[in-house]
């Protein structure tokens, strides 16, 4: 669910995809190369932000005795079953 907290929204996307900050930054860089009205400037700004978050996460991990930041989400099991869809299919409507 999207709300006004942009960082939380990107954290949720990262959890769902099993991405790190660096992988999110790489995705922003890829999107910046796509045709856009602003020439990709918006995505480049998001890429710089994500890269700064990646560096901050590395610094937090270096300070942690476990090698992981205290605020890091739990690791995602790649064999985990994807979440079930919650939307119900539309019932066919009568034509005519």
Q: How far apart are CA 82 and CA 3, in angstroms?
A: 23
Q: What is the pLDDT of residue 49?
A: 93
Q: What is the pLDDT of residue 82?
A: 66
Q: How many residues does the chain have?
A: 96
The candidate with the shortest Cα–Cα distance to 69, out of 55, 58, 81, 80, is: 58
pLDDT of residue 85: 67
What integer pLDDT is reported at residue 40 of this predicted model? Answer: 87
Alpha-helical runs (H) found in the chain: 6-17, 21-32, 41-63
Whole-number pLDDT of residue 32? 92
**Dmax (CA) of the chain:** 69
- Using CA atoms, how far apart are residues 39 and 37, in angstroms rounded to an integer? 6
Residue ranges for the chain with pLDDT beneath 50: 1-2
């Amino acid at each position: 669910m999207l709300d006004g907290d942009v960082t939380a929204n990107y954290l949720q996307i990262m959890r769902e995809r099993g991405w790190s900050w660096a992988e999110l930054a790489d995705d922003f860089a890829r999107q910046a190369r796509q045709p856009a009205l602003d020439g990709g400037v918006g995505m480049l700004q998001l890429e710089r932000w994500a890269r700064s978050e990646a560096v901050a996460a590395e610094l937090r991990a270096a300070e942690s005795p476990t090698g992981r930041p205290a605020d890091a989400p739990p690791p995602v099991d790649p064999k985990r079953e994807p979440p079930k869809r919650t939307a119900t299919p539309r019932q066919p409507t009568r034509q005519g």
